[in-house]
Structure 1
Amino acid sequence: MVKARRAAQAYKAYQDISRPGSPGLGARIRALPRMLSGALRGDYRDLGKGKLALMGMSILYIVSPVDVVPEALFLALGVVDDFGVFLWLASSLLGESGRYVDWERKNLAIAPEVDINRRQV
């Protein structure tokens, strides 16, 4: 059940990226630093502090040597839980960065005198 849900989330993220008119993978990855700084400053309010905290905790969980399901004891099961967290993080970041790029385009259309990096033109 859990594997099917994770696979469905990954496939949904793939469909979102490959949808015509949707920002591509490169644009989404380049937008990540802008999205995170915009969310922390409060400019981009669609990404809440709670979701940011979950993303940060998932990064810590992936890189942490201390694990809920240790790889040394459970072998493959220990790697699978890390991979599941990674899939959630990747699909969340890619999905949210696509929404951010759309939000950014809409806001730039309203205020064209400011570019993406917040410098006056």
Structure 2
Amino acid sequence: MAKAARAAQAWRVYRQVSGPGSPGFATRLRAVPKMVGAVMRGQYPGMTKGKLAMLGLGVVYIISPIDVIPDFLALIGVADDFGVFLWLMGSLLGESGRYVDWERHGGVRAFPSAAGPFPHGRRG
């Protein structure tokens, strides 16, 4: 991921978390375990198990000592981990924010129309 793309992703995440009426950072982080459980039980329609698996692979990649680009290559080796970290945090914060919103509406809120983040009623 290019430096400009990473900066843009970080900015989008910041705006999403700090927007008026939006669940805050801490609320989103606390919601992640509940969201994972709801996805695994098939109770949360906003995320598929496939998307959850991709997020899990992102976590494994970050903590794994095996990298596509070895970390001993100074900044280049750390850049791939940082790119995966930004994607992972952006995805987790975005998904958990939607989960919190869904939960606040009693778990029955219809997802946005085709113009919104769930164009087909499901995210994944």
Q: How does the TM-score come out when normalised to structure 1? A: 0.84
Distance in 2 between residues matched to 1:71 and 1:22, nearest whole Å: 36
1:44 and 1:108 mapped to 2: Cα distance? 8
Aligned AA (1:66): I
Aligned to 2:84: 85
Q: Which moved more, 1:43-52 or 1:32-41?
A: 43-52
Kindly report the root-mean-square deviation, in angstroms, between the aligned alpha carbons of the 2 structures: 1.6
User: What CA distance in whole angstroms lies between the structure 2 residues aligned with 1:106 and 1:100?
Assistant: 10
CA deviation map 1:39-98 (0-9, x unaligned): 1110012111221111111111111111110012x2210101101100100111011111
Count of aligned pairs: 109
Partner of 1:39: 39
Q: How does 1:23-62 map to 2 (within 5 A)?
A: 23-62=23-62
Distance 1:70 1:50, change over 3 A: same
- 1:10 partner SS: helix
Deviation at 1:108, TM superposition (A): 5.8
Provide the rounded CA distance (Å) in 1 between the counterparts of 2:44 and 2:108: 16
Indicate the structure with greater helix content.
Answer: 1
Percent sequence identity is 56
Measure how far apart 1:26 and its partner are: 1.3
Deviates more, 1:100-109 or 1:16-25: 100-109
Question: Which whole-Å CA distance do the structure 2 matches of 1:67 and 1:29 have between them?
Answer: 26
Offset of residue 10 of structure 1:
1.0
| Structure 1 gap segments, 5+ residues each | 111-121
**Other-structure match for 1:14:** 14
For the 8 Å contact 2:102–2:108, the answer to whether it is kept is: no
Task: Give the structure 1 partner of residue 75 of structure 2.
Answer: 76
Distance 1:37 1:48 in 2: 12
Which amino acid is the alignment partner of residue 45 of structure 1? P
Larger radius of gyration: 1
TM-score, normalising length from structure 2? 0.82
* 1:67 equivalent in structure 2: 67
Shift of 1:38: 0.3
Letter in structure 2 aligned against 1:14: Y
